[in-house]
A and B are shown apart, each in its own frame.
Chain A
Amino acid sequence: MLTNRYDFAGKTVEVNSLNEAVHNYCAAYVSDAPVDFAITTAKEDIEYERSRAEIPGYSDGYLEELAVYRKIAEKMPYYDTILFHGSVIAVDGAAYLFTAASGTGKSTHVALWRKLFGERAVMVNDDKPLLHIGDVVTAYGTPYDGKHKLSNKIAVPLKAICILTRACDNSIVPVTKSEAYTTLLQQAYRPNDVIALQKTLELVDRMAEKVGLYRLGCNMELEAAKVAYDGMNKHD
C-alpha cells in the first residue's frame, strides 16, 4: 500500500493506494498537516470505476485516480464541502463557475476569459473543483482539473455560478434558485452514502442562496467573455 497526505479544500487527506499513479497525480497538493480523514482504495474500487467507464482500456492507475476522488467526494459533505462539475476562473480575486453538460464548451469559454483578462485571470480548476459552503462559498483548486490540467492550489470566494449554453449571439440573464436548481443538483457529485447525499442537498440549497445564479448563451467569440463578466458584475 502506498501512502501520502494531500490537501483537499483545506482538509488533509491520507490516501492509501495500490498504484503510484495516484500519488504522482496529486503531487502538487502534498501536505504534512495532521490528517483529517483517510481513504483507502482496493482492487474492487478500481473495478467499480472500470465498470462505469464509458471508454474501455483505461489503466489501473488512472481508474484508481478516479476512485480516490470518488472516496474523497463521499466524505467531503461532512466538512460542508461538495465536488461540483464545472470550470472555475478567478478575476480580481472573485471566482466564477461555469457549468454545463460535458462537451458544451465550458473550458472553451473560460479560455476566452483568460484571453480577455490576461494576468488578472487565474484558473482555480477547469473540471471538478471542491466548493466549501460556509458564510461564503469558497472554490478550491484540486489535482482533478480536466484534460488540460488547468488549476492552481488556491481558494477563492465564489461570486457566481453560470449555466452555460451554446448560442449564436451572446446574452446573460440572472436565474432564480428554482430555475437553476435541477442543473445544480445534476452537476454536484451525489454521494452513494444516503446521509452524505442528504447533506449534499442541504449544501446545494445553501450555496444557491449565497452566490449569483446566471444563464449564459454564448458563442466562441471574445465578446462572449465580456458579456458574461459584465452580466455578473453589473449589479455591484
Chain B
Amino acid sequence: MKLKPYFIAHNSSNESYLVPTSGAEFSGVVKGNKTLGAIIGLLKEETTREQVIDKMKERFEAPEGVIEKDVDTVIYQLQKIGALE
C-alpha cells in the first residue's frame, strides 16, 4: 500500500496535516500529531503494515501494542477517506 499521489503531507506548528488536491473525492483536511506525520511519511513509498510497524518501533519507544494500534488506526482512517492505493 501507498499514499495516493494527490494527497500531500504537510507539517506546521509541530502538527501534521494530510491535504488532498481539489480533484480528490475527500475534501477535508486530516490533522494529527507527530505519530500521524511519521506514519504518513512511511506511506509515501510502497510498504506493508508490518514494515510500517517495524520502522515506527525503530524510531519510537512505546509500551507493547501501542505502535501497532496507532498504525492500524491511521491506516484505517486513510483507507476510509480513499488516501491509500
Residues of A whose CB lies within 8 Å of any CB of B are 70, 176-178, 181-182, 185-186, 189-194, 197-198, 201, 205
Contact = CB atoms under 8 A, between A and B. Distances in A.
Given A182-B31, A186-B28, A177 B19 contact: no
Size category of the binding interface on chain B:
10 to 19
A70 B22 CA distance: 10
Contacts of B6: 192, 194
27 contacts: A176-B13, A177-B13, A178-B13, A178-B14, A181-B13, A181-B15, A181-B31, A185-B17, A185-B19, A186-B28, A186-B29, A190-B19, A190-B20, A190-B21, A190-B22, A191-B22, A192-B6, A193-B21, A194-B5, A194-B6, A194-B8, A197-B8, A198-B8, A201-B10, A201-B17, A201-B19, A205-B12
Interface string B9-50: 010111101011111000011010000000000000000000
A185 B18 CA distance: 10
Nearest to A188: B19
A201 B22 contact: no
Contacts of B31: 181-182
B10 A192 contact: no
Given A178-B12, A192-B23, A197-B8, 13 more contacts: A177-B13, A182-B17, A185-B19, A189-B22, A190-B19, A191-B21, A194-B5, A197-B21, A198-B8, A198-B10, A201-B17, A201-B19, A205-B12
